[in-house]
Each structure stands twice: as structure tokens, then as C-alpha cells.
Amino acid sequence: MSVRVLPWFIILLAFLLNATAQAAPLPVPAPPALDAKSYILMDFDSGEVLAEREPDNPVEPASITKMMTAYILYSELEAGHIGIDDEVTISEKAWRMQGSRMFVEAGKKVSVADLLKGMIIQSGNDATVALAEHVAGTESAFVDMMNATAQSLGMRQTNYKNVTGWPAEGHTSTARDIAILGRALIRDFPEHYKRYSEKEFTFNDISQYNRNKLLWRDETVDGIKTGHTESAGYCLVASAERNEMRLISVVLGTKSDKARTQQSQALLNYGFRFFETHKLYAAGQKLIDARAWYGEKEEVGLGPKEDIYITVPRGQYDQLKAEMEVETQLEAPLEKGVVLGEVLVYLNDELKIKKPLVTLEAIPEGGLWTRARDSVLKMLD
């Protein structure tokens, strides 16, 4: 048997070509085609939208409305305005609510803890109204709180008419606004968010299962909320975390429970397969020193006020480039937290992130000698 020996430069060329082919980033295909009125897929940390269709089209949110009801309840709990062990007297209005129910009884007392589970796990309209009345006195007053909170979170195209999602003229939201709310719910109340992964709740000897079927199908899914009315169709807001990357999907207006589950799963799988999220800089991390004229210290550190994350197509993290633009004529005194520059992050020459840089410490004005010296140096600079 004879062996053919190739020249060394041909072997080296073949090796380099093979290495280059293996290192080539994976192309990102189009997102899966979903049979839904609208949808969006958003990264939790960066807020980057990875897929969307009609994300700003106003639709009926059905019981997804209860995400906002819960957000306000968590705010009230954290502020100490209500307690988790408070006993809530069930009103006749709450008891008479139609649709999905927890089956509370008028005049009976039920704890806030149980009502929260009834609202989140069982999607009980009766529990939701009872909680709203406990916080605000009336459902209408609570609705005012919901709309004010929506505006503060940047949900510009959302308008609530009730706390449950029961069909009502003008009760609308969008896939984008719902994703914004999902991010806020997880970010602001991580401990309360854990309730959304509970699969079953029993009250008054009646056991009901969480309607989010993804909790059984995908162990990385831990929320968030289903919704359904005849006019809204079948809706699902889902969130999953894999390898320290969390995604939020919103799928609105599908034709069945099975469809909303399968399409949400497909959307999440797409995001995790073709994208990756990285923490670029931590809040308060010094990225650059800037000259501080006339100060007790000659330099002041600048960094981001908040954590900075970026989501990029898988395999393209090494292609990122960062630049910093800083004001050059900084004069003491300087307060902490003043915006004095920007960090710019590019991917293949496309600007992906533009975030402010702030002073990380206060720089008091220096003494007479320092100011006199810097006056001369600044003229020579």
C-alpha cells in the first residue's frame, strides 16, 4: 500500500480553511411561522426583540390582564400596605364573577396568600376581584392604579377596563407591552414570581391545574400566564431560562390551547438556539478615567449606572467592538452620577448599544494651589 504525502503548505491551507469554516457564525434563519394574531420574543436581560409579528397591534389580552393585577399587588405587599396573611372578606361581586374561578364564597374570609394562588394558578376571576377590592376599595379604583402603572412601565398602548380581562370595549394591550410587563414582573418581584411555576392549587377541596401546559412540557419554563376568551383566542405569555439566558415569549390569538403551547415552545426554542446573551458591564464598573480639572483628585472614574447586557446571534460575540466618548473639559466640583459620556457597542459596524457613562464618585474642588496649577496646565493642554 502506498501513501501519498501532500506538500506542507497544502496541508496548512486545508487546515486553515477547515478551521475558518468551523468558526463561521451560525446563520440566523427566519423565526418559525406562527398562526397567531401577534407575537413577540424578547430577551429578559437586554430587552432585545428576537422575533415579532404585529407586536404593536392592539388586541384583547383576556386573563393575561392578571399579570398587571399581580404586579400592583406585589408592589402593595412590598410597600407594607397589605400583608400576605391579611384575611379578605369576599364580596358578593367577587363571588358572582363568571369564567374561571377559585370558588370562594361570599362573606367568607380568605387570606391574601390563598387568593394570590387562586388568581395565578387557577386564574380565578373571583379571587382577582377580591384582591383588587382589598387593595383599593373598588375594582374601578384598582383599574386606575393599573393604567397609571402601565404608563410608568412604558406600556404606551395598553388600556385596562377591569382587573380580570373579562371582555370589555377598549380593554386592550399589545404583545410588546405585555413583554415589557413580563420583564418588570420578573425583575422587580423575583420571589413573588416563583408562584407562576406552581402547577396545582387546592381550595375548598377543589383542585385545579395551572393552564400553562409548558410547565409540564419544558422544565426550563417557569411562567407566566395564559388567557382565553372567544374573541381573544388562546394566548400565552411564557418565560424560560437556559444556561443563564432568560427569554419571554408572548403569543396572542391562536386557535387552541394546544396551538398556543406548541407555538410558544417553538418560539422559545428558536431564541435559545440561535442567540446568546452576555453581560458586558456591571453597574458601577469603572470603564475609563477622565481628567477632572481643579479637583482634589486629578481623575474621575466613569461607568454605567445600570448593568449592560447584549443579545447577539450565536457565535458572534467575538465580533463586538466598544468605544467610549467622554467630555474632555471636566471641571470640579463634580457630583456622583452625572452623565459625562457614552459607551457605544458595535456588531459588524452596526451600532447595537448606546448607554450613558456617569461619574462613579464625587470630586470636590481642590485648594488654591491645585486650582492655580490646573489653570496653567489646562492652557498648555
> Is-contact 160 143, C-beta < 8 A?
yes
Fill in the DSSP letter of residue 368: H
What is the rounded CA–CA span in Å between residue 167 and residue 107?
26
β-pair partners for 341:
326, 357
Strand, coil or helix: 158: coil
297 grid coordinates: 483628585
Q: How many CB atoms lie within 10 A of CB 77?
A: 18
> Is-contact 268 219, C-beta < 8 A?
no
Complete domains list, the chain, with CATH: 38-276 (3.40.710.10), 282-380 (2.60.410.10)
Question: How confident is the prediction along the chain (381 residues), in pLDDT tens digits per residue?
Answer: 223 333 333 333 343 344 444 445 668 899 999 999 999 999 999 999 999 999 999 999 999 999 999 999 999 999 999 999 999 999 999 999 999 999 999 999 999 999 999 999 999 999 999 999 999 999 999 999 999 999 999 999 999 999 999 999 999 999 999 999 999 999 999 999 999 999 999 999 999 999 999 999 999 999 999 999 999 999 999 999 999 999 999 999 999 999 999 999 999 999 999 999 999 999 999 999 998 877 788 889 999 999 999 999 999 999 999 999 998 888 879 999 999 999 999 999 999 999 999 999 998 886 787 667 757 666 776
CA 238 centroid distance within chain: 11
**247-298, pLDDT tens digit by residue?**
999 999 999 999 999 999 999 999 999 999 999 999 999 999 998 877 788 8
CA 5 centroid distance within chain: 58
Fill in the DSSP letter of residue 34: -
Phi, psi (rounded to 5 degrees) for 234: -95, 125
Instruction: Of 306, 373, 281, 363, give the one whose Cα is nearest residue 330.
Output: 363
**159-213, pLDDT tens digit by residue?**
999 999 999 999 999 999 999 999 999 999 999 999 999 999 999 999 999 999 9
Number of DSSP helices (H) and strands (E) in the chain, helices first: 11, 17
Half-sphere exposure of residue 371, counting CA atoms within 13 Å on the CB side?
A: 8
pTM recorded for the entire structure: 0.89
Residue type, position 180, single letter: I
Residue type, position 345, single letter: V
186: Cβ–Cβ under 8 A, 6 or more apart, which residues? 44, 193, 223, 239, 246, 248
What is the rounded CA–CA span in Å between residue 97 and residue 100?
8
230 grid coordinates: 372567544
Active site residues: 63, 66, 123
What is the rounded CA–CA span in Å between residue 316 and residue 332?
41
Fill in the DSSP letter of residue 86: P
Half-sphere exposure of residue 114, counting CA atoms within 13 Å on the CB side?
A: 18
